[in-house]
Amino acid sequence: MIPDANAPPHQAELCKDARGAAAVEFVLVMVPVFLCFFCFLQVGKLYMANLVFQHAATVAARAAAVIVEPSLNPGENGSEDDVKTVARLALGAWQTAIRNVDVSVSSAASTSDPNGLVTAKLTGKFHCGVAMAARLTCGSDKSINLKATARFPLQGARYRMGSGTSSQTPVGDLAGAPAKSVCDPNSPFDVCSR
């Protein structure tokens, strides 16, 4: 009997056949390698998101240092909504990955301590989006909560603006404390003589 060329090979011949073994070995080895690579990539993105989030908190604290405490900052300074906007803008391209950003600002400045610290606290949620690694590194909901705090001294003026430069009085006079002169005739930035 002549064997049919289209007939399936016998089982004995299949055991000796080595075709496709390299492809199977490649798949068995490369899946864990790719998984490890993607996990490292996701952890790297998580650290970068944390740095960007801390930067946003620093930017928010710097903005709040000139916006909060309107009694210590004469003139038009903006609102606390501007601090929230600046914090979100500081995220840059990460705004799509870092969601639900909440900004809270507190100030320890007063008329007796016009350079008290202004604190900006940010909370948000980083969405992990790297394939195969998001659930392993970020949990079942594929997100990590981020928190950042930054402090900056209030950059308030040490005087009150009046109708003219001659009516500027140091903050100490308003608080009942001894007045401290902020006018320096030798300074190129002297605001009292202009």
Average pLDDT over residues 18-45: 90
pLDDT value for 107: 84
Name the packing angle between helices 21-67 and 80-90 (round to 10°): 150
Dist. CA 24–CA 34, nearest whole Å: 15
* Mean model confidence pLDDT for the chain: 78
Give the tokens for residue 118.
């202004």
pLDDT value for 180: 46
pLDDT value for 157: 58
pLDDT tier at 171, thresholds 50, 70, 90: very low
Does residue 123 have a pLDDT over 90? yes
38-93: pLDDT as tens digits:
999 999 999 999 999 999 999 999 988 888 766 666 666 677 788 899 999 999 99
Does residue 106 have a pLDDT over 50? yes
Q: Give DSSP secondary structure letters for 137-191.
A: HHTTTTEEEEEEEEEEE----SEE--SSGGG-EEHHHHHTSPP-----TT-TT-S
Point out the least confidently predicted range of 14-18, 132-136, 180-184: 180-184
Please say whether the beta carbons of 52 and 95 come within 8 A.
Answer: no
Q: How many residues does the chain have?
A: 194
pTM of the model: 0.66
